[in-house]
Amino acid sequence: MTPQQSIPDADESIDDQSAETDGSDPSRHERVRLRTRPTIKPPLVWILVTVIVGGALALASFANVYGLEDPGLASIVGWTVVFVVFVVSLRLLVRIYVLTRTTYTVTETDIRHEFSLWFRQYSREIPLDRVRGQEFQQDRIQRVFGVGTISVLTGGTNASLGYVEFQNVPNPNEVTETVREQRLAASPIGGLE
C-alpha cells in the first residue's frame, strides 16, 4: 500500500482505487474494488451485557440472595462471578483491538483479510478464481447495527485454509455483492459459472 492511501474508518469503504499488491513484484498493480474495516460496536455491546449481567449476579451473590447457608460460600461465588466477568471482558477488549487493526480488501483478482499487532502481521489472500461460495451470518446485535459476517469459501478440504471471514463488516450486502461480481468476472470461462 502506498503512503498516500489511507485506510477508511470502521464504517467507511473505498471503491475502485489502484493499490500496489503486497507481493514481491512492486510493478504489479491491482484495482481495489472494496476496502473496509470491521466495526467494534457488537463487541462493545457484549462487554456492556457481560458487565451488567455479571455485576447483577455478583451483587446478588455478595448479598446472599440465593440463600446459601454459609456466607463465605456466597462470597466465593460472588468473587468467582467477578473473575469470570473480568476474563470475558478482557477477551472482548483484545478482540476489539484486533478488529481496529483489521482490513478487508476485495480486488479484481483476490480477497484479502489483513491485520497487524505489536510484533505480528497476518494476511490471508484467496484468489477469486478459487472461490466456490460465500456465507452470510448476522446475529441480533449485528442486525441492529447493520453489520454482518461474511465467509468466503474455497474448494479446499482444510477448513483453516478454505475460507476468509469478514467479521462485523459494515454494509454486508454491498460486500457480498462486490465479492460475487468480482468472482464472476474472474471466472476462467469468461464470467460464467
Determine the Cα angle at 171 with ends 170 and 173, to 5°: 140
Architecture of domain 13-36+101-185: Roll (2.30)
Q: Measured between alpha carbons, how far is 109 from 38 in angstroms, rounded to an integer?
A: 22
Q: Looking at residues 156-180, what average pLDDT do you find?
A: 80
pLDDT one-digit tens code per residue, 25-60:
344 467 888 899 999 999 999 999 999 999 999 999
Question: What does pTM read for this prediction?
Answer: 0.71
- Tell me the domain boundaries of the chain: 13-36+101-185, 42-97
C-alpha cell at 156: 479446499
